[in-house]
Structure 1
Amino acid sequence: QGYRRIAEATKMDGWDDPKADVLRLVRSWLCDESNGRWLMVVDNADDASIFFQGVSPTGTASSPDPTPAELLSDFLPQSPNGSILVTSRSRDAAYKLTGAHFSNVEVKPMDKDAALALLQKKLGYIDSEDEAVQLIQDLDAMPLALTQAAAFIKKRAPPMSVSRYVDEVRRSESDRARLLDQDVGDSRRDGRASNSIIATWHISFKYIRTQTPNAARLRSLMSLFDRQGIPESLLHDWYVGQDDKGADFDDDIYVLTSFSLVEMGADGSEFGMHRLVQFSTKKWLELNSELEEWKTTYVLLMDENYPVGRHENWPVCQKLFPHAGVVLNSQPEDKEARKAWASVLFKSAWYASEMEQYSKAHEMDSGALRARETVLGSEHADTLNSLNSLGLVVRQLGRYDEAEAIHKKALEA
């Protein structure tokens, strides 16, 4: 389709012949130096296999045939009077299409100044740099996300503003999803390409699931962790299906880093994910009715690996505390999984209390107590442990009458 549009725009000889081999026609025209210099952009080339399958003269993939067909890549012109710029989320695809690592340029995340300049250009104004920086941080300085946000703000202003957009992004997951799934359009982009940040990520997710299912499962599990400092040691045995013995962690994590969905730490033992990648992954899992499965897997994983808050366990507790804390927002529906969820909160609250983070400990103990009362009953030993732990935390918060009532309730039980 792109080559046909080039033929129509240049009015090259034979462009209007319905029997013309458009791919060959355009390639020949671009290789002719008399037609001047040119730049071709091959955008979103994430699946390199498309370029290495045979095509028919009409430009469509040919059916299996004993006669060798020309590959689509053969129709990318090689000429000194032109250049081809390939954009891709996949390092593998980039290498296959360029044939050399030195030809690949990794596009790093925008720094604050560049992101502010983009936002200023798209909005036309910035009333408060502090508010703009908050928006940039919340959107991981991703150009498409910032462009989408700016277009939405301009379209709805007033009353929509940068500060209100930030408030709505932070308010709840449903509000964040509503904003990030907006497709406000961009006349300069291919009309068939989505301008929704969630839809854009979901294209990559679908491709990875098709090509490397275990890598997709690994990404699903990692989306439930805190986004920074995800330990490799907690991933190996938990993301592969029971019947799948062919998984290779190094291969699977390579796929995710190749698509820039995951970042590897300096020593290779920990990983990180952009907050928008995590969020989009969880929305993808929700759309595919898989989120509950992974919430269950995650709380079972954390319950097995997070120790009680005794002094000798503090180094492990400290390292895993952010990952234990995120389970507050991931209560599973399964009864057995809710027991594990409550156990993780109880152990995390113990450590938080030892670190004098009493407000956090209160939130965790309260969640654990409610879950245990529902699943185990009010007189179960684990429920009473949670009740006693909550009483100790409430006392540390200076609410002595409330603490006394809680301890009295525990003693009576």
Structure 2
Amino acid sequence: AVCGLGGIGKTQIAVEFAYRLRSQCPDHSIFWIRANDQISFETSYREVAGLLGIPLDEANADIIAKVNARLARADAGKWLMIIDNADDLGSEDSTTSLVVRKQIPRHNSAGILFTTRSRGVATRLAKNHLIKVDEMNEPESFALFSRNLQQDRRIILQDEATTKQLLEILCHLPLAMTQAAGYFNKVAHMTIEKYMSIFSSRKEEAMEVLGEGKLDDDMDDPEKRAVATTWLISFEQIQKDNELAAEYMKFIATIKDEAIPDDILPDTKYKLLTFKQEGAIGTLVGFGFLKQQAERRFYNMHRLVHLVVQSWLKRRNETSIWIQKASTRLTKLIPTGGHEDREKWTGYLPHGLHVAQSSAFAVLPEEERMSLFVRIGACQRTLGQYSAAERLHREMLRLREEVLGPEHPDTLTSMNNLACLFEDQGKYEAAEPLYEETLRLNEKVFGQEHPDTLLSMNNLASLFESQGKQKVLGEEHPDTLTSMNNLANILESQGKYEAAKPLYQETLLLRQKILGEEHPDTLTSMNNLVRLSIAKASTRRSSRSTKRCCCFLERKSSA
């Protein structure tokens, strides 16, 4: 495990190690797991599952277990798994706790490298196999700062004493030095003396920007100040030079800080031309706020920068504004499930989940929240993420019952969707009462012949068929008789009288045998058969009348 302060370069060390391993040992597979949060962790595992050819139509927990089992096999080959940002063991739901609870894949020709801010976590995960990344010394800091400066800007390094003074106020922290170098590259004629003067005048405001927001508990105030102040100086310059880049920065603060697709960034008042988008993204890359992934359409923002921007928005009471913009944008991009453009929309889904789980999202209008919830839940169901989809569908149903009432069409849709999800997982006992309640309410609200009512009937009939209830409970069990009667009702409502009749007859015979002639359920079965006979007779009379009418018309037309 590699441990050290946030912003000190742990991830870059892991990246460099991965590249060197691949260069020296091309027969090794390398897998990168992002452990920032549970969404990132599960998404990363699903990406690895895809690379290993493991089917992605199962729940996330199964996918994690299957990936670990596949990598533990004797024929798995040589591999390295890097689990980045495994920082928290405090809660049962933390990704690091998930790693510990799960059976981490073990293989004689493989290894796992963790990066973490916490020495305690590092010791728990890697025992004594621990590398602590200490603060850079002067020569290392000077080399890093110089390397991040463009060739024509390295002239500012001629005064070594002043340069060393700058590196000291930046706490020799790689993230702060990278941001400062980006500023020097973008702002012509800026000197180190002038930059330090700006830093001194802005450092208190930068700490105020953080307010209640926390970077890392293990960072001292000078280190926090270095990160926040270099960001503030650069961001103020961006606001002057490229308003669109500043808007992108605010937008990104509301979504996830990693695997950001370039086309997720919103259309603004500019009605964007491509070159303006690329210019804005290029500005953020140039200032060191975004880093492009190997897959060119994706970008990452450093976690600490992400937290600083969030604190800045919170202090200015703009968080809800940008959460709403993110929600609107993601509602446009995320479909209601299905496999079309699946490779593309899976890149948007983690960002939609991140927005939906934010506290600011909870105060948005119900209709807007539901629109994003519906899309995320449908996509999770398409991906086989049943546990996550179930949590979301339960929340949607609860909200709609609370806000719209139990008989509102949208509430009934949510009830039906949750029942479908239960059926997909084989949770028939949970699905059946929901299907039955949806059918009852649809009949009450819309009537028996409405398409939504007929769909509910079909869903219930499909469930009975999947359930094989008679085989499980026995043909004389009361639940079996109820299911038989319900299925007959559905067939009758669809005009399938010949199929419904034997079911009604068998239900009646069994109820007479078990419940007796005068039991209400037995009398209901008798009534059902009478009603069916009347309906069939009416259909035959209607059919004869239609034939006579057709014959009459034929005679008239030939006369």
Change (3 A) 1:353 1:255: same
Q: Which residue of 2 aligns with 1:299?
A: 327
The one-letter code sitting in structure 2 at the alignment partner of 1:233 is D
**Shift in CA distance, 185/232, structure 1 to aligned 2, threshold 3 Å:** closer
Other-structure match for 2:369: 341
**Which residues of 2 match residues 95-106 of structure 1 at below 5 A?**
none
Shift of 1:306: 1.1
Between the aligned partners of 1:360 and 1:210, the Cα distance in structure 2 is 43
Equivalent residues of 2:380, 2:389 under 8 A apart: yes
Q: Name the SS of the counterpart of 2:299 in structure 1.
A: strand
Indicate the SS of the match to 2:254: coil
Q: Structure 2 vs 1, CA of residues 306 and 88 (structure 1 numbering), >3 Å: closer, same or farther?
A: closer
In structure 1, the partner of 2:102 is none
The answer to whether structure 1 residue 277 and structure 2 residue 368 are counterparts is no
Q: Would you say the 8 A contact 2:238–2:245 is kept in 1?
A: yes
Any idea what the Cα deviations from partners look like across 1:219-238, whole Å, max 9, x if unmatched?
Answer: 1112223333322223251x
Q: Provide the rounded CA distance (Å) in 2 between the counterparts of 1:246 and 1:395.
A: 45
- AA aligned to 1:184 is D
C-alpha RMSD of the superposition: 4.4
Deviation at 1:340, TM superposition (A): 2.9
Instruction: Give matches, 1:198-209, under 5 Å.
Output: 201-209=231-239
Residue 382 of structure 1 aligns with an amino acid whose one-letter code is: D
Structure 1 pair 367–236 and aligned structure 2 pair: CA distance change class (3 A): same
Partner of 2:336: 308
Q: List aligned pairs for 1:189-338, cutoff 5 A.
A: 195=225, 197=227, 201-237=231-267, 240-241=268-269, 248-266=276-294, 268-330=296-358, 332=361, 336=365, 338=366
| C-alpha distance 83-223 of structure 1, shift in aligned 2 (>3 A) | closer
Query: How do 1:359-374 residues align onto structure 2 when only pairs under 5 Å count?
Result: 359-374=387-402
Aligned to 1:128: none
Say if 2:120 is the partner of 1:91. no
Residue 262 of structure 1 and its aligned partner are, at CA, apart by 0.9
- AA matched with 1:208: I
In terms of fraction of residues, the more helix-rich structure is 2
Provide the C-alpha distance between the structure 2 equivalents of 1:182 and 1:264, rounded to a whole number of angstroms: 28
Assess, with a 3 A threshold, how the Cα gap between structure 1 residues 221 and 95 changes in structure 2: closer, same or farther.
Answer: closer
Match of 1:353 among 362, 368, 381: 381
Counterpart CA distance in 1 for 2:256 and 2:369 is 16
DSSP 3-state at the match of 1:308 = coil
**TM superposition shift of 1:281:** 1.8
Q: Deviations over 1:109-157 (max 9, x none)?
A: xxxxxxxxxxxxxxxxxxxxxxxxxxxxxxxxxxxxxxxxxxxxxxxxx
Based on CA coordinates, which of the two structures has the bigger radius of gyration? Answer: 2
Residue 256 of structure 2: SS of its match in structure 1? coil
Q: Deviations over 1:239-274 (max 9, x none)?
A: x34799999222221221122111123454222222
Q: Are residues 243 and 296 of structure 1, via their aligned partners in 2, closer, same or farther at CA, if it must alter by over 3 Å? A: same
- 1:184 equivalenced with 2:213 (yes/no): no
Match of 2:429 among 398, 401, 406: 401
Structure 2 portions without partners, runs of 5+: 1-141, 150-154, 167-176, 191-209, 442-559
Aligned 8 A contact 1:232 1:269 in 2: yes
User: CA 1:376/1:184 → structure 2, altered by over 3 Å: closer, same or farther?
Assistant: same
In structure 2, how many angstroms separate the alpha carbons of the residues matched to 1:322 and 1:274?
17
The structural deviation recorded for 1:98 is: 8.5
- In the aligned structure 2, how far is the partner of 1:269 from the partner of 1:370? 38
Tell me the TM-score normalised to structure 1 length: 0.52
Looking at structure 1, the residues matched to 257 and 304 of structure 2 have their Cα atoms a distance apart, in angstroms, of: 10
Tell me how far 1:386 sits from its aligned partner: 1.8
Structure 1: which 5+ residue stretches go unaligned?
Answer: 1-40, 49-73, 100-173, 187-192
State how 1:9-28 maps to structure 2 within 5 Å: none
Q: Tell me the amino acid that sits aligned with residue 303 of structure 2.
A: R
CA apart distance, 1:329: 1.0
Taking every aligned residue pair, what percent have the same amino acid on both sides?
24
Q: 1:318 and 1:194, CA in 2 relative to 1: closer, same or farther beyond 3 A? A: closer
Shift in Å at residue 345 of structure 1?
2.0
Using the size of structure 2 for normalisation, the TM-score is 0.39
> Are residue 410 (structure 1) and residue 443 (structure 2) matched?
no
Secondary structure of the residue aligned to 1:271 is strand
Structure number with the bigger relative contact order (C-alpha 8 A, sep ≥ 6) is 2
Q: Distance in 2 between matches of 1:319 and 1:392?
A: 25
Measured after TM superposition, the shift of residue 286 of structure 1 is 1.2
**Corresponding residue of 2:478:** none
Q: Determine which of 365, 371, 382 is the counterpart of 2:410.
A: 382
Counterpart of 1:214, as a letter, is L
| Partner-residue secondary structure (3-state), 1:332 | helix
Amino acid at match of 2:309: T
Q: Tell me how far apart the structure 2 counterparts of residues 356 and 341 of structure 1 sit (CA, whole Å).
A: 22
Amino acid at match of 2:238: I
Q: How many residues align?
A: 262
Cα gap change, 1:259 to 1:78, in 2 (>3 Å)? closer
Distance in structure 1 (CA, Å) of the matches to 2:344 and 2:406: 31
